[in-house]
Amino acid sequence: MKVYVVLAISLLIGACSSTKPIPVKGYDGPEMMHRMEVIQASRQCIMSKMKPNTEYLVYKTEAGKVLLPVNVHCDAY
């Protein structure tokens, strides 16, 4: 009986862990923000008396890792 339970659990875990992400048509992934976009978004946060928080995406290159800004949102102080 224990063998059947262990077998069922291992099959369930194996089936769930092998799922692949579903590609979305027309979406290639997050895009890097331009420098002026980041500056303008940060200034808008500061003018609203909020703290700008920039989110980065790590991109690996031959020379090392590069941080690419992808989003700026405002946080309360």
pLDDT in tens, the chain (77 residues): 777 777 777 766 766 666 677 788 888 888 899 999 999 999 999 999 999 999 999 989 999 999 999 999 999 98
Instruction: Give this prediction's pTM.
Output: 0.62
47: tokens are 């003018």
| Per-residue confidence (pLDDT) for residue 68, from 0 to 100 | 93
pLDDT value at residue 23: 81
- Number of independent structural domains in the chain: 1
Domain residue limits at 10:
2-75
What pLDDT is stored for residue 74 in this prediction? 96
